[in-house]
Chain A
Amino acid sequence: GNSVTQMEGPVTLSEEAFLTINCTYTATGYPSLFWYVQYPGEGLQLLLKATKADDKGSNKGFEATYRKETTSFHLEKGSVQVSDSAVYFCALNPYNFNKFYFGSGTKLNVKP
């Protein structure tokens, strides 16, 4: 079956710290992988995506690499800001299948 597992939060960091949010997946076929961000009271926004093994998605200083051998898509950022405080969701879309699978979300709190 298809599923996404991400690390439980909340994750609390000081400004300028290094961020890693772990995400692993189970999928049939060759899925596309996504990270979404949700700010309080809002919908989800696409942060980055990768469509095949070894691809690296990047946006706004965040990056994640599609690792087929470890079935992982960990989100990283070298120096977080207070404005990065939000909930981050890892998701997958199995190949040629129109249903998305989301992780449970990881809340990030960045303190000044």
Chain B
Amino acid sequence: DGGITQSPKYLFRKEGQNVTLSCEQNLNHDAMYWYRQDPGQGLRLIYYSQIVNDFQKGDIAEGYSVSREKKESFPLTVTSAQKNPTAFYLCASTVPGATDTQYFGPGTRLTVL
């Protein structure tokens, strides 16, 4: 089955540590996205990538970094510079184009202890 996988489902980290969230898709989509969702809030765009080896900052990129070395993979690193990293992180992908749907992974809940 085609889809987007995110791992792990739950992640705990100590304050001051970097942590990397995984996102993999086998939909052959060119574009991939990372969003952050806080309780009772909407989605805020962190980073997005339209093609391999290229990515752009979203609305809240500070304290985060990404890489896009393969079409299938778009890992997100939450660095110690991110002041309030506890949140639900969602990865998504799409085929470029106005009519195309954005597909989402199941999400990773990050908790900083």
Binding site for B on A (CB under 8 A): 30-32, 34, 36, 41-46, 49, 51, 89, 91, 93-100, 102-105, 107
Contact indicator B104/A43 (Cβ below 8 Å): yes
Report 17 cross-chain contacts, Cβ distance below 8 Å, ordered by A residue.
Answer: A32-B98, A34-B101, A41-B107, A42-B106, A43-B104, A43-B106, A44-B104, A46-B101, A46-B103, A49-B101, A93-B99, A93-B100, A98-B94, A100-B102, A102-B43, A104-B42, A105-B41
The answer to whether A98 and B104 have CB atoms under 8 Å apart is: no
How far, in whole Å, are A94 and B102 apart by their CA atoms in the complex? 13
**Chain A at the B interface: SS class:** loop
Q: How far is the CA of A105 from the CA of B97 in the complex (A)?
A: 24
- Separation of A105 and B60 alpha carbons in the complex (Å): 19
Question: Shortest Cβ distance from A42 into chain B, in angstroms?
Answer: 6
The bracket for how many chain B residues form the interface is 20 to 34
Which of these, A30, A45, A93, A103, contacts B104 with CB under 8 Å?
A45
Top 6 A-B residue pairs of the complex, sorted by shortest distance between their CB atoms: A43-B104, A104-B42, A95-B98, A44-B104, A51-B99, A102-B43
Q: Which residues of B contact A105 (CB under 8 A)?
A: 41-42
CB distance from A36 to the nearest CB of B (A): 8
Closest to B88 in A: A41
